[in-house]
C-alpha cells in the first residue's frame, strides 16, 4: 500500500511539473517570434535576399559578415570599453544614427551594449569591421529607445577602432 501511494504521488508530481514546464515552454515559444523566427525571420531573409548578401548566421540568431578581421591579435571581452564607428539602420534602410568618428558611449563596457553588438564585436579584432543584422531579441527587444520602436530589427555596420 505504501509503495502504491508513493508511486501515485510521484506520478501526480510529474504530471504537475510537466504542466508547468509546458506553460514555460509555450511562453518561450511565443516570444521566439520576437527573437527572429516567424514574420521577423522572413523579413530578415527577404532583406538578405534583396540586398544579395552573403551572411553567416550565429547560433544566437545574429546574421553577420566580417568585412575586415582587424589586426587579428587584439580581441575584446565584455569588460572592455569599445571605441567604435557605426551606422545603424532599419530593414527598410532608413538611417537611425551614425557615428563617423570614434565613440565610446560615455565609457560604457561592451557588456552594457545590446546583445547583438556584444556577440558581433567579439568576432573582430582591433581595427576590424563587421556587418550585422540584429534580430529584435538581440537588440532592444520589446522596449522603445529614442527613435527605435520596440521589436525593431537593426542593420549595423560597426568598426572596432580600439578598446580599453
Structure confidence by residue, pLDDT tens digits, 112-142: 999 999 999 999 999 999 999 999 999 999 9
Q: What is the pLDDT of the chain when averaged over all its residues?
A: 83
2, pLDDT greater than 50: no
In the numeric block, which cell numbers belong to residue 125?
Answer: 579584432
- Of 14-18, 62-66, 69-73, the range with the lowest mean pLDDT is 14-18
Is-contact 111 118, C-beta < 8 A? yes
137's enclosing H/E stretch is: none
Mean pLDDT of 88-105: 96
In the numeric block, which cell numbers belong to residue 140?
Answer: 532592444
Asked if the 36-163 domain carries CATH number 3.10.50.40, the reply is yes
CA 80 centroid distance within chain? 18
What is the pLDDT confidence band of residue 17, given thresholds at 50, 70 and 90? very low
What CA–CA distances, in Å, run from 54 to 27, 127, 139? 33, 22, 21
What pLDDT is recorded for position 9? Answer: 39
Mean pLDDT of 43-47: 97
What is the pLDDT confidence band of residue 74, given thresholds at 50, 70 and 90? confident
What is the pLDDT confidence band of residue 28, given thresholds at 50, 70 and 90? very low
153, pLDDT greater than 70: yes
> Per 3-state DSSP, what percentage of the chain is helix, strand, and coil (rounded to 5)?
35, 25, 35
Q: Where are the alpha helices (DSSP H) in the chain?
A: 2-32, 38-50, 115-121
Whether the predicted model's global pTM rises above the 0.85 cut: no
Q: Which class for 64: exposed (0-12), middle (13-18), buried (19 or more C-beta within 10 A)?
A: buried
Mean pLDDT of 74-98: 97
What pLDDT is recorded for position 37? Answer: 60
Q: Residue 129: how many CB atoms within 10 A of its CB?
A: 19
Amino acid at each position: 500500500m505504501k509503495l502504491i501511494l508513493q508511486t501515485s504521488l510521484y506520478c501526480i508530481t510529474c504530471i504537475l511539473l510537466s504542466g508547468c514546464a509546458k506553460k514555460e515552454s509555450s511562453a518561450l515559444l511565443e516570444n521566439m517570434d520576437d527573437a527572429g523566427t516567424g514574420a521577423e525571420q522572413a523579413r530578415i531573409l527577404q532583406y538578405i535576399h534583396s540586398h544579395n548578401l552573403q551572411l553567416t548566421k550565429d547560433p544566437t540568431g545574429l546574421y553577420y559578415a566580417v568585412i575586415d578581421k582587424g589586426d587579428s591579435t587584439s580581441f575584446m571581452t565584455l569588460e572592455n570599453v569599445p571605441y567604435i564607428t557605426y551606422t545603424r539602420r532599419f530593414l527598410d534602410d532608413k538611417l537611425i544614427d551614425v557615428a563617423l568618428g570614434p565613440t565610446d558611449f560615455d565609457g560604457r563596457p561592451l557588456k552594457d551594449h545590446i546583445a547583438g553588438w556584444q556577440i558581433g564585436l567579439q568576432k573582430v579584432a582591433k581595427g576590424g569591421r563587421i556587418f550585422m543584422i540584429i534580430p529584435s531579441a538581440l537588440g532592444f527587444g520589446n522596449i522603445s529607445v529614442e527613435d527605435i520602436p520596440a521589436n525593431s530589427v537593426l542593420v549595423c555596420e560597426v568598426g572596432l577602432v580600439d578598446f580599453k
